[in-house]
Chain A
Amino acid sequence: MGNKVLMKGNEAVAEAAIRSGCRLYFAYPITPQSELIEYMAKMMPKVNGTFLQAESEVAAINMVYGAAGMGKRVMTSSSSPGISLKAEGLSYLAGARLPAVIVNVQRGGPGLGDIQPAQGDYFQATKGGGHGDYRLIVLAPSSVQEFADMASDAFDLTDKYRVPVMILSDGLLGQMMEPVEFKEYKTDAEIEELGKQHFDWCMHPNVDGPGRHHHEINSLEIDPVMLEKHVLNLEKIYKEIEAKEVKLEEYNINPDNEYVCVAFGTAARIVKSAIDDLNAEGHNIGLIRPITVWPYPYKEIERAIHDKINRVFVFELNLGQMLEDVKLAVNGKVPVEFMGKVGGIVFTPEEVKEKIKAYL
């Protein structure tokens, strides 16, 4: 427990991003992610980085577009309504294959909604949000430690594939304090080295000469044949990500499970409490917690549905969005039950237990 500090999720992810070599951050304030932007405002000047509060979310995401075009590690963050405003920019980043990290500290919606924790942006994050055929890699943390760890994972992934990465968190994880342990700061030399991996495509200072090539970054391709080629290339990258980058937690998953629950993020924490209690009463219930919600662990869920499984339960803080992916994975083998809470209300372990008990 040596170097643990007690920190809010919003602050922890910001600190971890800086340690991962992020020196450029553009955003516009919104509750419940305000501590993130405040932390960046305080810390970026201390590490010679740039913090800029843009005039709007739209401006912020386009600043991210510009900075990413220089091959630098860049981040923005917001909460649900603000992410909707950034959606156009997300599509442009994906189209131009720019690496960037976007944090969504979800709150209740639709519209302005409220400021309490929710998971109603699952569809937006994993199925689109912006226009066109594109994907974001979407990581869903379930604790403050994981929220922080995902900052460096997100930068590594976005640098590797040049696909924007979203960390899909929520108000509870943003506001909650838990002990967190950080990795070391990347040195200036390491950060410079990271930038070099993008040398072949990114913008360089405006000098032509040996080793300094003219690059263009654009998502406009007016020739349909060329655009087709570009989108098919994106598809190839997305297929590779689906094959290699799926991550999940299997909690009490075993060959004798009678029931399997599926939940992500905050909801999964509550479900763990509920199934701990039920298993102590002699049941055998497992939990699959997708850590990447795109790419989604379809195969892993399919594999967990063996002959002894009677039923699958899905718990989300929305009206049933990930539910559709679970149903794809289960493919009609067993019934899939759903319980959701909306409006920023979080279900209690007791409510989850009741839902499961009705079928035991």
Chain B
Amino acid sequence: MKYEMIFSGFGGQGALAIGKFIAQSAMTEGKNVSWLPSYGPEMRGGTANVSVVVSDTEIASPVVSTPTVMVALNQPSLDKFGPDVKPQGLIIVNEDLCPKVVKRSNIDYVVVPFNTLAKEIGSDKVLNMIAIGIIIEKTNIIKYDTLADELTAFLKDRNPELLKLNLEAIQKGMELAK
């Protein structure tokens, strides 16, 4: 099993954090992982993105050019990486910030309004967690329990309220993907 993923959005939307939590949880589950961020100068309104590989075997190249899973939190991300997703791949789109979604055939699309849903849950901060929930439901890359444990260890004392909202957002994502 090998998953190559790209998560992308505006700086501050939490695209890199999606990758970090998935890599962290997959590592805890005993898999090989790599997390490679874009760290160059980006134009305002451009994309902050990260390439993540999760694999049962040793990871050769950490550079992902044709992902099997892609999350686009804004339109530039969808335009940049959408065409590269492998056939039978999964594209998760933030409907609120992607007004133009041209669907390719042979691709599984999940199009949901992340900003609206995050506001409903109670914090813009948990927008990225909805995407993770969709990935958990649609793939077997990581288990919900592993991530919930990681988040609990990380946030329980620091910010229990944010922990609650995060878990709620993940569950919302899982529900939407069903």
What residues of chain A have their CB less than 8 Å away from a CB belonging to chain B? 1, 4, 6, 31-32, 114-116, 171-172, 175-179, 269-270, 272-274, 276, 344, 346, 348-350
Whether B23 contacts A177 by the Cβ 8 Å rule is yes
Interface residue stretch chosen among B32-40, B87-95, B140-148, B153-161? B32-40
Q: Is B139 an interface residue (CB 8 A)?
A: no
Whether B33 contacts A178 by the Cβ 8 Å rule is yes
Q: Within the assembled complex, what's the spacing in Å between the Cα atoms of A176 and B20?
A: 11
Whether B65 contacts A348 by the Cβ 8 Å rule is yes
Whether A1 contacts B30 by the Cβ 8 Å rule is yes
Q: Within the assembled complex, what's the spacing in Å between the Cα atoms of A281 and B152?
A: 45
Whether B65 contacts A349 by the Cβ 8 Å rule is yes
Q: Is B106 an interface residue (CB 8 A)?
A: no
Known: A1-B30, A6-B23, A6-B24. A175 touches B37 (CB 8 A): yes
Minimal beta-carbon separation of B87 from chain A (angstroms): 15
Q: Count residues of chain B with CB under 8 A from any CB of chain A.
A: 22
Whether B39 contacts A175 by the Cβ 8 Å rule is yes
Which residues of chain A come closer than 8 Å to B30, judged between CB atoms? 1
Q: Within the assembled complex, what's the spacing in Å between the Cα atoms of A178 and B55?
A: 12
Which residues of chain B come closer than 8 Å to A179, judged between CB atoms? 27, 32-33
Q: Within the assembled complex, what's the spacing in Å between the Cα atoms of A274 and B23?
A: 23
Which residues of chain B come closer than 8 Å to A344, judged between CB atoms? 40
Output the nearest chain A residue to B32 by Cβ-Cβ distance.
A179
Task: Specify which of B39, B41, B61, B63 lies most central, judged by the most chain A CB atoms within 10 Å of its CB.
Answer: B61
Minimal beta-carbon separation of A6 from chain B (angstroms): 5
Whether A6 contacts B40 by the Cβ 8 Å rule is no
Whether A176 contacts B27 by the Cβ 8 Å rule is no
Which residues of chain A come closer than 8 Å to B43, judged between CB atoms? none
Q: Within the assembled complex, what's the spacing in Å between the Cα atoms of A114 and B28?
A: 35
Which residues of chain A come closer than 8 Å to B24, judged between CB atoms? 6
Which residue of A1, A114, A171, A175 is within 8 Å of B27 (Cβ)? Answer: A1
Minimal beta-carbon separation of A278 from chain B (angstroms): 12
Q: Within the assembled complex, what's the spacing in Å between the Cα atoms of A346 and B23?
A: 22
Output the nearest chain B residue to A177 by Cβ-Cβ distance.
B35
* 12 sample A-B contacts, Cβ–Cβ < 8 Å, listed by A number: A6-B20, A6-B27, A116-B40, A172-B62, A175-B39, A176-B34, A176-B62, A177-B23, A178-B35, A179-B33, A348-B65, A350-B65
What residues of chain B have their CB less than 8 Å away from a CB belonging to chain A? 20, 23-24, 27-28, 30, 32-37, 39-41, 59-63, 65-66
Which residue of A115, A177, A269 is within 8 Å of B40 (Cβ)? Answer: A115
Whether A346 contacts B63 by the Cβ 8 Å rule is yes
Q: Within the assembled complex, what's the spacing in Å between the Cα atoms of A4 and B60?
A: 19
Whether B36 contacts A176 by the Cβ 8 Å rule is yes
Output the nearest chain B residue to A178 by Cβ-Cβ distance.
B34
List the 7 closest A-B pairs by CB distance, nearest first: A272-B60, A273-B61, A273-B60, A177-B35, A348-B65, A176-B36, A270-B61
Q: Within the assembled complex, what's the spacing in Å between the Cα atoms of A346 and B63?
A: 8
Which residues of chain B come closer than 8 Å to A1, judged between CB atoms? 27-28, 30
Minimal beta-carbon separation of B106 from chain A (angstroms): 19
Minimal beta-carbon separation of A74 from chain B (angstroms): 28
Minimal beta-carbon separation of B146 from chain A (angstroms): 13
Q: Within the assembled complex, what's the spacing in Å between the Cα atoms of A177 and B59?
A: 12
Which residues of chain B come closer than 8 Å to A274, judged between CB atoms? 61
Q: Within the assembled complex, what's the spacing in Å between the Cα atoms of A349 and B4?
A: 13
Minimal beta-carbon separation of B169 from chain A (angstroms): 22
Which residues of chain B come closer than 8 Å to A175, judged between CB atoms? 36-37, 39
Output the nearest chain A residue to B62 by Cβ-Cβ distance.
A176
Known: A1-B27, A178-B33. A348 touches B39 (CB 8 A): no
Known: A4-B27, A116-B40. A176 touches B35 (CB 8 A): yes
Whether A272 contacts B35 by the Cβ 8 Å rule is no
Q: Within the assembled complex, what's the spacing in Å between the Cα atoms of A31 and B60?
A: 25
Which residues of chain A come closer than 8 Å to B40, judged between CB atoms? 114-116, 344
Q: Within the assembled complex, what's the spacing in Å between the Cα atoms of A32 and B36?
A: 13
Which residue of A172, A348, A349 is within 8 Å of B36 (Cβ)? Answer: A172
Q: Within the assembled complex, what's the spacing in Å between the Cα atoms of A350 and B39?
A: 23
Which residue of A4, A114, A116, A272 is within 8 Å of B61 (Cβ)? Answer: A272
Task: Specify which of A171, A344, A349 lies most central, judged by the most chain B CB atoms within 10 Å of its CB.
Answer: A349
